Structures are given as structure tokens and as C-alpha cells.
Amino acid sequence: MILESNHLQSSLAWRTQLLNWYDLNKRDFPWRRFISPYHTWVCEVMSQQTTMAVVVPRFNEFVAKLPNVHALAHASDEELRSLWVGLGYYARARHLRAGAQDIVNRRNGEFPQSYNEWLTVPGVGPYTASVLVSICLDFPKACVDGNVIRVVSRLTGTSAVELWSEKGKASIQSLVDGLIDPVRPGDFNQAMMELGALICRKQSPDCCRCPVQDACLASARNLTTTCPPNKPRAEVRRIQLAALVISSSDSVADHPPEFFLIERQEGFLSGTLGFPLIQHTGPQSLVELCSKLSAIPQVRTVTLHEANVRHTITRNALEVGQIRLTCDARTPQLLAELSRTVEQAQIAAAKQTWVSKKLVSRRVSTALDLKVWEKFS
Ligand code: SF4
């Protein structure tokens, strides 16, 4: 894809203006107060698909509890899960820990010193490696995220939908690699992202306050509404689920009710702790399932609550109802019966735990489970 970029390459005054603007206007994020590969890495992984308003408090808590790569490498599943609540995709946290373990075990805790070395760390891809080497090692490698694509699209007046293809992104990467400030590459990358987040916003870019307006073809040609073009729509997958909210009966003497949580073993919630989730095909299948659950000897009551939670994880639109069960005894036989009835081997086989009512919200590790719990309580 050809980008109209001669004006950006022939005069670099816009780059100086961008950096000057960044120096005066950058947001005061905790990971910007002092630069370290560990903090930069953690914040980069946390901020994938999450807003900064969510990330900042979670980041502060994370680095307070796990202040360095050694602490992260030795973090338990439970600790990691509790620090990742609300940040989505727990698998990212596990990959981050796997990377930390690799650095501790294979490199004695020393961070890589080049782009290619970072790429050998498990869980680190080209984008994360670019962030790390440009910010922490002053290596001129461009970071191309959604904000940067939007800014480049407008600076070059490009409205071709091909911009979003792998080829289009490669063209942008190559262009910005050539435009990056060789003295302040990390600041340049952050300035481009900050410009996209604060000024060159998706809706209503604030061109009058933009430090690079003189170099912007979309502004000059009145193309800001068509640059960038809309992304081709990704197909959204509708998934119907029922959460099994299982509690031990409170009528058993000396045993206040406790709730059953499992560590999920598969699917996009793999590794998270929460309520067992059953995929179903509609209300009728749930009614049939409830009737089978009622027949389990240790089960005392079963109530069905149709989809009352909606939750989206990337392209998965989840509609989640609840089947609430109370049972007499927390025995292996009960779990075996439940597992067989809902055809989910992991209920009996996976790591599971019973927790008191007041601990449920602290132990579950996804925003989806918190929503289910809010509806329950
Ligand atoms: Fe974006 Fe407007 Fe600045 Fe162009 S002038 S980069 S459209 S904010």
C-alpha cells in the first residue's frame, strides 16, 4: 500500500512540534515517573484492550505486591488471578509470568538488551518488544497500535480500507520506523500514541489544538471523517451460557453456606477461577438440565434464572443465565454426579474450592464472574 508521506519525510519540523507538545501535555502515569523494563512491560501487557482509567489502579497494586521480575516469576496462581481481576484475558497474566520465569531462569533475572532478544521471551511479540526497546533502550523501533494507525492515516490522508490489513500495517510500520526520532525514540512512540488518545481522537479530532496540523493532509483536505476508514467488521460470536452457582446448604449445623468455584481448564477463560459455565442452546435445554440436576440425591434445590448478564470478550458476546443449586454435602460423589450431569469433566477433575459468601467476590478472577455474583447477591 502506498502512503502519501513525502511531506512527512522532507521536513521533520512536525516531529519536533510533536515532541515539544508531548513534553508539556503527557499524562502523569506511574510507569512514566521512572523508566524500568519491568514496569514498562507490566503496563504494556495490562493496557492491551483496557482503558487507562482501569489500568492505573491495577498497575499500582500489581507492582506494590510484585515489585520486580523475581517476585512475578514466583507469584502463585491465586495471587496472580487476584491482581488481574477486571483486566480481562487472564491468559495474558500467565504469559507475563511465563516471560518473567524465562528471564529469571534463563537469564539470571537480566532483561534482554535488544529487540531480537526480547522476541525470544515467551509471550513477547513484536509490538511489546518495540515498546520495550524504544522506551527502555532508546532503540528506534516504531510502536504501531490503533492510535498510531489513526494518526498516520490522517497525516497521510489515507482512507483505503487496506490500511487495516496486515500489508497496510506493515506499510505503516515501515513508514514510522523511518520517521521515528533517533534521539528520543521512546518519547516519539509515546507522543504518537498520546496524540491519538488526547487530540487526534477517533470521533471529533481537535485539529485546532493539534501540534502537527501543518503536516496533516486529512485536515488540509477535510478528510478527517473518512480517515481512517472503518475497520472491516469482525464477526461477533453469540454464546449462550449458564453459570452454576452451587452452594452448600446453610441448614447443616456448624457449616455456613459456601460456594463452589473451579479453575477453568479450557476455552478463552482458561486458567481463571470462577463459577462452572455450561454452554447451552436455549431455554428448553436449560429446563431439561435443571430437571436432571434436581434428580441428583445430594441436591436440595435448583432454580433457573435466564440470561441476566451480558458480557463481551473480544468477538464473543456472552449471554449468561444462572442455575442456582443448594446441596446437602460437599462430597466427591456430589461433584462426580454434577460433572456427569452437565457433561463437564473439569468439575470433578480440576482444581476446585469452596469459599464463604463474603470471599466469593475476592476469589473469582474475571469481571464476568463478578457480574454473575452481583446478580446472585
Ligand atoms: Fe489528527 Fe487533526 Fe492533528 Fe490531523 S490535524 S493529526 S486530524 S488532530
pLDDT along the chain (377 residues), means of 10: 91 97 96 93 91 93 97 94 85 94 97 97 95 97 95 96 93 96 97 97 96 97 95 87 87 74 83 89 87 90 88 88 88 85 76 88 88 89
The helix or strand, by DSSP H or E, that contains position 19, with its residue range, turns out to be helix 13-25
259, with CB counted inside 10 A (0-12, 13-18, 19+), is: buried
* Residue 60 host element (H or E): helix 52-65
User: Three-class SS of residue 16?
Assistant: helix
CB 108 within 8 A of CB 154: no
**Measured between alpha carbons, how far is 358 from 86 in angstroms, rounded to an integer?**
19
Closest residue CA from atom 4 of ligand 1:
216
- pLDDT by residue (tens digit) across 68-90? 999 999 999 889 988 998 887 78
- The pLDDT value recorded for residue 88 is 78
The pLDDT, as a whole number, for residue 253 is 55
Which atom of ligand 1 approaches the CA of 216 most closely? 4
| CA gap 92, 118 in Å, rounded | 16
C-alpha cell at 231: 475497520
- Which residue's CA is minimally distant from atom 1 of ligand 1? 200
Active site residue 263: no
Q: What pLDDT does 90 receive?
A: 83
Which residues have C-beta within 8 Å of that of residue 89, sequence separation ≥ 6? 49, 268, 313
Cβ within 8 Å of residue 49, ≥6 positions away: 88, 89, 314
**Annotated catalytic residue within 4, 44, 258, 288:** 44
Contact 155 CB / ligand 1 (< 6 Å): yes
CA of 248 to the centre of ligand 1 (A): 59
What pTM, to 2 d.p., does this model score? Answer: 0.76
**How many Å lie between the centroid of ligand 1 and the Cα of residue 209?**
9
Q: Is the CB of 18 under 6 A from ligand 1?
A: no
Place of cell 454435602: 329
Question: What is the number of residues in the chain?
Answer: 377
